[in-house]
Amino acid sequence: MSYTPPTLPPFPGETPTRRVHSEARWTARRVTRPRSQSLSTKLTRRFEVEWLDDNGVQSAIRVAPALPVFEQAFGAFAHGVLVQTTEGPVAVEDLLPGTMLECAGGHTAQLLWKGAITLVPGAPSMSELPDRLYRVMPDAFGLGRPAQDQTFGPHARRFNRDPKVRAALGADTALVPLSAAADGMSVIEVNPVAATRVYHLACEKHETIFAAGMEVETYHPGPDAALSLSDEMMQHFLMFFPYIRNIRDFGRLTAPRISAAELAAIA
């Protein structure tokens, strides 16, 4: 069904802009979200978002609680990661909503949303562990994957086609955290020593795109997000994504996800 995105209340620093024109179409599926405890915190951070609506590319700055589930929506790609578009590779920071991305299935998908936050070493955090970056060395996952070293954020996931994973899950592929591949040689875990900007991308549905020659996922909150957020925090979350009305609008995952611990147990 097609619709006009809802009008949002003003947020501090919100700066909408108009650049291009497009129409989005959405398909929702029904799930039931049980009521959870209300969450509150005085620890906040700035979340920067760009999205595509009927009036073009819009942008805004949201100030919201610094919950890990929020930060996961913004932390897959570090500055400089090259994302494959129909016009060639483009650095993630230069991508605009409306750009057509090349996907692993051989099709293309329109970028509808880009989010960014800045990771500051030593800053107060609600996460159990400090945020780390992951530097992927040339040819770490095969020839030209990547062609040159590239750095990813703490919440990047990539396709894994290991036969053991396929046998365990009964699926052709699985999405695994890039952090699970950190070995100090081909994938190096990095503690940032300076403020570092990280990004995430979203399309109409969950996709697997090419970044630095690797198959990595676009953003999807996964099934747990709806279960972990109170009504109040869900409203904060949805304000990051003005082009949707409900968390169900993200649709289905393109492949099953497994954690680093689950991957280690399978291997």
pLDDT tens for the chain, 267 residues long, are: 443 444 444 444 444 444 443 343 333 334 444 444 344 457 899 999 999 999 999 999 999 999 999 999 999 999 999 999 999 999 999 999 999 999 998 999 999 999 999 999 888 778 777 789 999 999 999 999 999 999 999 999 999 988 888 888 888 889 999 999 999 999 999 999 999 999 999 999 999 999 999 999 999 999 888 888 999 999 999 999 999 999 999 999 999 999 888 888 886
Residue 264 lies in a domain: no
State pTM to two decimals: 0.83
Residue 147 lies in a domain: yes
CATH number reported for the structural domain that contains residue 108 in this entry: 2.170.16
Going by C-beta distance under 8 Å and a sequence separation of 6 or more, which residues neighbour residue 42? none
Residue 94 lies in a domain: yes
Chain mean position to CA 235: 19
Domain count across the chain: 1
Residue 32 lies in a domain: no
Q: Which domain holds residue 50?
A: 44-158+178-254
